[in-house]
Amino acid sequence: MKLLLIKTSSLGDVFHTFPALTEALQHIPDLEVSWVVEEGFAAMAGWHPAVKQVIPVAWRRWRKSLFAKQTRAEMKAFRQAMRDVQPDLILDAQGLIKSGVMTAFAHGPRKAGLDKRSARENLACLAYNETYPVPFGSHAIWRVRQLFAAALQYPLGHEAEFSYGLDKSRWQRPAVDGNYLVFLHGTTWVTKLWPEVHWQTLVKTAAAAGYKVLLPWGNDEEHERAKRIASVDATAEVLPRMGLSALNAYLCFASGVVGVDTGLSHVVAGLEVPSVAIYGATDATLTGVLGPRVEVLKADFSCSPCLNKQCKFDNAHPPCYDTVPPAKVWGALQAKMQA
């Protein structure tokens, strides 16, 4: 069976789709998926064994110059690539107007998506000849799984039992002696940052337990933070700057990972590495990190999750994170590594 899947962004959305693909492949062994996804996530979409073709879309870039000659040429080639698939089913798992437009441009006998009460932008439903109800209020992974099961007509598994099903054989263990942990300290909002002093305490705890700590980074600010965190123990190492594929090799073979609310924590959950994800200012309930080997620790504070980019307290760090101390994080990580 050929499926044209439209689920374009973001990084979290891509990873939230993998469990549905795994479940679908279990029920439909001859499933061949062509996935329409934003160009920045094209490589990730191909990590799943059900995905035989990735069709990159550059809407984020195209919308800045819709009438440019190059943009029009790229959009024409994109539409042709979708039509060349000749799918049995076109499934819009995004539920937005932009994904509905892409569905309309595709050619196939069945065009399916969320119904008007379930889509985030119900005008997208005009592109479908099949719609399915998937109530709001559940985690995105469960909602996508429900949509896939309904459209592809197979029995839905238990909500709590799922696997991302990614092919990890593409990565080889990096040249790191002994057991090691990776600490993902970087993120976008200041209010998502777990305090440096907590990271430093965790480094010392890990080192005392015989683990080497590796600290990746993606910009100058994160680089300086990584160096400060690593300074408390001689065995801790600040990694060189690297792309996601190279970093994934370190994540795949880590004994455990600790992260905050960041895209890389979704990657770790997808790789099914023992991990802990720390949430304070943001909410993990509907779109947060979720996986069979990840423990989500949420701050227990009066205003958490505040969903604000600036903390209202004039403290060295958001006080909500003091309810997620290093000892609690270490205990949760040990439990996951021993499970």
Q: What is the DSSP string of 243-311?
A: -HHHHHHHHHT-SEEEEESSHHHHHHHHHT--EEEEESSS--TTTS---TTEEEEE---TT-S---SS-
pLDDT at 290 over 90: yes
Per-residue pLDDT, 272? 96
Mean predicted confidence (pLDDT) in 326-332: 98
Q: pLDDT over 90 for what percent of the chain?
A: 94
Report the alpha-carbon distance of residue 95 to residue 100 in Å, rounded. 7
pLDDT band at 158 (very low <50, low <70, confident <90, very high): very high
How high is the pLDDT of residue 322? 95
Q: How confident is the model at residue 245, as a pLDDT?
A: 87
CA 261-191-198 angle, 5° bins: 75
Count of residues in the chain: 339
Continuous segment of H or E residues that includes residue 37: strand 32-38
Indicate the range of 14-18, 66-70, 113-117, 334-338 predicted with least confidence: 66-70
What is the phi/psi pair of residue 16, to 5°?
-70, -15
pLDDT of residue 339: 87
Tokens of 8: 């374009």
Residue ranges, comma separated, of all CATH 3.40.50.2000 domains in the chain are: 2-152, 174-338
Give the per-residue pLDDT at 316: 85
Which pTM was predicted? 0.92
Take residue 156 and report the two structure tokens written for it.
């839905």
> What average pLDDT does this structure show over 169-192?
95
Region 227-232 average pLDDT? 98
Mean pLDDT of 94-100: 96
- The dotted CATH code for 2-152 is 3.40.50.2000
Sheet containing strand 51-57, strands side by side:
51-57, 32-38, 2-6, 89-92, 111-114, 130-132
Average pLDDT over residues 197-210: 98
Q: Does domain 174-338 bear CATH number 3.90.1150.10? A: no
- Name the band, by pLDDT with cuts 50, 70 and 90, for residue 154: very high
Mean pLDDT for the stretch of residues 91-110: 96
Scan for tokens 């909410």, then name that residue: 283
Confidence of residue 66 (pLDDT cuts 50, 70, 90): confident
Q: Return the number of other C-beta atoms located less than 10 Å from residue 71's C-beta.
A: 16
Inform me whether the pLDDT recorded for 315 exceeds 90: no
- Long-range CB pairs of 220-223 (<8 Å, 24+ gap) are 222/185, 222/186
Rounded mean pLDDT of the chain? 96
pLDDT at 314 > cutoff 90: no
